Amino acid sequence: SPLHDFLQGLPKCEHHAHLEGCLSPELFFQLAERNGVPLPDPEANPAYASVATLKERYKNFTSLDDFLVFFFQGMTVLQHEQDFTDLAWTYFQRAHRDGVHHAEVFFDPEVHRERGIPYETIVDGFSKGCRRAERELGLTTRLIMCFVRHLPVSSAEKVYDEFISARHFEAGVVHGLGCSSTEIGPPKDMYRELYAAAAERGIPLTAHVGEVGDPTYISAALELGVQRIDHGIRLVDDPELMRRVAREGILLTLCPLSNVLLRCVPSLEHVPVRRFLEAGVKFSINSDDPAYVGAYILDNYCAVQEAHRLSVAEWCVIAENSVRGSWIGDSRKAELL
């Protein structure tokens, strides 16, 4: 796009990338081999025949839940601390090339723990990748632990207790809590107690809502004390709630190409970027699961520009809101502004 160089050079903050969503089909097969992890039976699941067939399948997700099956299957090849470090480091290098100066990334400890990987292995592995990015790339990072709504609350409680016992928030190892996975079905307030306990400790909170769920999922998350909303595109269906989100300065972390690929919207034009700008709703633009979507953050910036033709001034508003909405101190914000 004509603004490609400008968008590349714009100092970006990423707030919505799942580290497990950075596992490419190539790395999936490599790690499966290296770790002796059995692949899904290609008879039953022909997508897993080769890198090429898996890549092709990733272009044809039919819904969020269809994607999640592949996303959780992908994770099974992550076994050792080094695997988690390698995955994070690979992402940060790419983000750095895309002009990202600060990255807040999600990870799903419950899912790894459920298949026998200790909490410490997961967090130590990912946080080593974060520290390397800070040291070698000058990229600041934040790890956000995501609860997954397809598992019972008791599973979330277990990782929360480990996180508290390890004092990982106080130590600046894990900086916030979120929740993700399937949206429609589980109770909207399933993390009420956990979010209340975390809020009491001053832990920043976010939630994946309004990706496929109606605005009542968004208001339920606000009621649980989130400062941020991941996706939240369905906010446009409730103008009153949209005014409240604008007034309270809640940041939406939009993932436009993910929304198209998972068929949450029919096309990029339906990601309500302009409606949010006009309503004064703050948002950042992010990649979500770049290795599954086949697009990283700069691809998302460029695709939004192609579809919505924003002005340089509008891009500056987006970039500035991304810095101000980051979970970093004022001195780092000042460096990024």
Least gap, CB of 71 to ligand HPA (angstroms): 6
Q: DSSP for 315-327?
A: HHHHHHHHHHTSS
Neighbour-count burial of 138, counting CB atoms closer than 10 A to its CB (0-12 exposed, 13-18 middle, 19+ buried): exposed
229 binds ligand HPA (CB under 6 A): no
204 binds ligand HPA (CB under 6 A): no
96 among the known binding-site residues? no
Determine the Cα–Cα distance for residues 286 and 237; give it in Å rounded to an integer. 22
Least gap, CB of 21 to ligand HPA (angstroms): 5
189 among the known binding-site residues? no
Residue pair 90/27 in contact (Cβ under 8 Å)? The answer is yes
- Selecting among 14, 211, 306, 320, the annotated active-site residue is 211
Q: Which strands sit side by side in the sheet containing 206-209, from one edge to the other? A: 206-209, 228-231, 251-254, 283-285
14 binds Zn ion (CB under 5 A): no
Q: Which of Zn ion, ligand HPA, none binds 258 (CB below 5-8 Å, type-dependent)? A: ligand HPA
64 binds ligand HPA (CB under 6 A): yes
- Total of residues contacting ligand HPA (CB under 6 A): 11
CB atoms within 10 A of CB 4: 12
5 among the known binding-site residues? no
What's 189's DSSP letter?
A: T
Residue pair 303/34 in contact (Cβ under 8 Å)? The answer is no
With respect to ligand HPA, which residue has the nearer C-beta, 228 or 323? 228
Alpha-carbon 219 to chain mean position: 20
For 56-84, letters b (16+ CB in 10 Å) and e give ebbeebeebbebbebbbbbbbbbbebebb
State which H helix or E strand residue 230 sits in.
Answer: strand 228-231
101 among the known binding-site residues? no
Token look-up 């969503």 returns: 21
Residue 179 pairs in a beta bridge with 147
Residues 276-305 that bind Zn ion (CB under 5 A): 288
Q: Which of 206, 289, 298, 323 binds ligand HPA (CB under 6 A)?
A: 289
Least gap, CB of 219 to Zn ion (angstroms): 20
Token output for 242: 């949209």
Residues 305-334 that bind ligand HPA (CB under 6 A): none
What's 166's DSSP letter?
A: T
Is 240 an annotated catalytic residue?
Answer: no
18 binds ligand HPA (CB under 6 A): yes
Dihedral of the CA atoms 329, 332, 333, 337 (nearest 10)?
170
108 among the known binding-site residues? no
Amino acid occupying residue 215: P
- Length of the chain measured in residues: 337
Q: Which of 98, 104, 162, 211 binds ligand HPA (CB under 6 A)?
A: 211
With respect to ligand HPA, which residue has the nearer C-beta, 102 or 208? 208
With respect to ligand HPA, which residue has the nearer C-beta, 148 or 174? 148
21 binds ligand HPA (CB under 6 A): yes
71 binds ligand HPA (CB under 6 A): yes
102 binds ligand HPA (CB under 6 A): no
With respect to Zn ion, which residue has the nearer C-beta, 19 or 32? 19
Q: Which of Zn ion, ligand HPA, none binds 321 (CB below 5-8 Å, type-dependent)? A: none
Instruction: Write out the residues near Zn ion by the rule CB under 5 A.
Output: 288
Which amino acids are annotated catalytic?
Answer: 211
Which residues make up each annotated binding site for Zn(2+)?
16, 18, 208, 288
Q: Which residues bind ligand HPA (CB under 6 A)?
A: 18, 21, 64, 71, 180-181, 208, 211, 258, 288-289
